Structure 1
Amino acid sequence: MRAVKNLLVLYTGGTIGMLETPEGLAPSGGFESRMRDHFAVMADAPEVTWTLQELDPLLDSANMQQHNWLAMRDAIVDAVRVRDHDAVLVLHGTDTLAYSAAALSFLLLGLPVPILLTGSMLPAGAPGSDAWDNLCGALRQFDHPLEAGVQLYFAGKLLHGCRASKLRSEAFDAFAALPRHRQSEHVAPLPAHLGYQQPRQRVNLAVVPVFPGLQAGHLDALLGSGVQGLLLECYGSGTGPSDDQALLDTLRAARERGVMLVAISQCPEGDVVFDTYAAGSRLRAAGLVSGGGMTREAALGKMFALLGAGLDVDEAEQWFALDLCGER
């Protein structure tokens, strides 16, 4: 850990830099000059040296997709390896902020610099906005040594990149880090094919909550679209309709043809332990692997990073069961 001397601010869009248009708020360029103008009149402006790069295109984060994660990853790696930046602050919209923090946690494994993400619930310049507080608070984090890896800063809190979720749609303290119920074996040292230098490609992933009335036909239709990985949000400790043989057969057939099947809990503080109930054991027997206490964002980002690296489903499952950066 060391003090930051050459920070990159990567502006991806989001509410923090939005301006009013005839259709409503939309991402706008020129945020660097707005930042510098604001800091010029502040008595206690952050002192860290920074430069700003705008991602093209700028996004409302509701439009965030896997290729945008890869573009962010490429921009961050280039900034560190080619332009000698020793830290990166990502400005991002809040709708998918936790998803991007989790995805980048796995896409940047082994990158030896701190990566921090922040955003705001109201645009900079709007009356009563939280934008400048979050931005200045995030910049001040770099006044002190930070550990390498991805973290999220919001409403005065520094959160683990793979444990954060957006819990509130309007409050300024929209994000919280969910507790870990148990820890898995940690991977050290990290193999090269899981690190930040490993090329990634897009992966066809799907998320489905278990609910009373879920049918095999629902999953058949979804899996028939070429899904490579399915994240099933189960009840409680990892249970589901285990007396529905057709549904179990659908899951088993998908796993046999190479689809990765992962189970997490629908409960915000849930943890999948298949052996607690017979209903969970039958899901495991159908081919599901446990996501432990991982959040939806972390589980999805981890599946993307593993399958996107070209791992087959057996190898992806082996690495999924291990702790790569504190996600489990």
Structure 2
Amino acid sequence: MRAVKNLLVLYTGGTIGMLETPEGLAPAGGFEARMREHFAHMTDAPQLRWTLQELDPLLDSANMQQHNWLAMRDAIVAAVEVAGHDGVLVLHGTDSMAYSAAALSFLLLGLPVPVLLTGSMLPAGAADSDAWGNLCGALRQFEQGLEDGVQLFFHGQLLHGSRATKLRSEAFDAFVALPRHRDSERAGAIPAELGYKHPRQPVNLAVVPVFPGLQASHLQALLGSGVQGLLLECYGSGTGPSDDQALLDVLSAARQRGVMLAAISQCPEGSVVFDTYAAGNRLRGAGLVSGGGMTREAALAKMVALLGAGLDVDTAERWFALDLCGERA
């Protein structure tokens, strides 16, 4: 851990910098000037040196897409390798912040600087806003020293980037790191194709919850649309409608033609352990690989990073089963 001396603030949009428009709150530029003006009136403003870069276009994070993650990754890598920054603070909207934190965790494997995401539930300048508290708190984390890797700072909490999730839609303590037990071997050396220097491509993925009434035809329509990977949110420890042979056949056929199939639990706490129930074993037999105790955000982001690196499904499944950055810890 080391104090950061030359920070990049990457402003992606989000509530923290929004201004009122006739249609409601919307992302607005010029946030660097607002930050500097606010700090000028503080007696205990953070003292580290920073510069701000605006991502183009600025986003309401409800509009976040994979290509925006890749643009963030490119900006961060350039900031470190070209501009010499030794830390990056990403200002982000809260709707998809946990997804972006997880995505950057896998897209920046091996990056030798800390990356921190923060944002706010209310815009900077709004009455009783949490914006300046979160922003100043995040900056002080860099002053005190952070470990390399991706983390999320919100409401005084420092959370692991691939373990965080948004639990509350209105309270200031919106984010938590869901507890998990280690359920996988930690990967050794990360191959070059999974490191932060390796570019990625967007991946056509889908997430489907198992629910009473899920039909083979539902999955057939989705899997027939060209998806490269399916994340199935199963019951409990990884169970589903295992007596529906038509549904199992649809999954099996998709895996045989090269679609990656992964399973996570719908439960906020717990892991997929296929061996516990016969119903879980039948899903594994249809071609699903266990996501262990990963969050939805982490499992989805990990599939993007693996398949987006050009790995074949067998290789992607092997790396998916290993703990790459603490996502399965």
Superposition TM-score tier, normalisation by shorter sequence: over 0.9
The alignment yields a C-alpha RMSD, in angstroms, of 0.5
Give the Cα separation in 1 of the matches to 2:182 and 2:143: 33
CA gap 1:60/1:199 in 2 versus in 1, 3 angstroms: same
Give the Cα separation in 2 of the matches to 1:146 and 1:175: 19
> Which residue number in structure 2 is paired with residue 71 of structure 1?
71
Q: 2:194 aligned with 1:194, yes or no?
A: yes
Give the Cα separation in 2 of the matches to 1:20 and 1:105: 32
CA drift at 1:213? 0.1
Q: 2:285 aligned with 1:266, yes or no?
A: no
CA drift at 1:183? 3.5
Q: 2:278 aligned with 1:278, yes or no?
A: yes
CA drift at 1:181? 2.1
Query: Helix, strand or coil for the counterpart of 1:138?
Result: helix
> Which residue number in structure 1 is paired with residue 249 of structure 2?
249
Query: Helix, strand or coil for the counterpart of 1:143?
Result: helix
What are the equivalent positions in structure 2 for 1:283-302 lying under 5 Å apart?
A: 283-302=283-302
Give the Cα separation in 2 of the matches to 1:91 and 1:63: 15
Which amino acid is the alignment partner of residue 136 of structure 1?
Answer: C
Q: 1:65-120 CA distances to partner (integer Å, 9 max, x unpaired)?
A: 00000000000000000000000000000000000000000000000000000000
Give the Cα separation in 2 of the matches to 1:68 and 1:182: 31
Which amino acid is the alignment partner of residue 184 of structure 1?
Answer: S
Give the Cα separation in 2 of the matches to 1:189 and 1:209: 34
Q: 2:106 aligned with 1:114, yes or no?
A: no
> Which residue number in structure 2 is paired with residue 306 of structure 1?
306
Query: Helix, strand or coil for the counterpart of 1:142?
Result: helix
Q: 2:224 aligned with 1:224, yes or no?
A: yes
- Which 4+ runs in 1 deviate beyond 3 A? none
Give the Cα separation in 2 of the matches to 1:44 and 1:228: 50
> Which residue number in structure 2 is paired with residue 104 of structure 1?
104
What are the equivalent positions in structure 2 for 1:17-96 lying under 5 Å apart?
A: 17-96=17-96
Q: 1:4-39 CA distances to partner (integer Å, 9 max, x unpaired)?
A: 100000000000000000000000000000000000
Residue ranges of structure 1 left out of the alignment (5+ in a row)? none
Q: 2:133 aligned with 1:165, yes or no?
A: no
Which amino acid is the alignment partner of residue 201 of structure 1?
Answer: Q
Query: Helix, strand or coil for the counterpart of 1:132?
Result: helix
Residues 200, 309 of structure 2: 8 Å contact kept = yes
Give the Cα separation in 2 of the matches to 1:42 and 1:23: 33
Give the Cα separation in 2 of the matches to 1:240 and 1:233: 9
CA drift at 1:184? 1.4
CA drift at 1:143? 1.2
Which amino acid is the alignment partner of residue 139 of structure 1?
Answer: L
CA drift at 1:48? 1.2
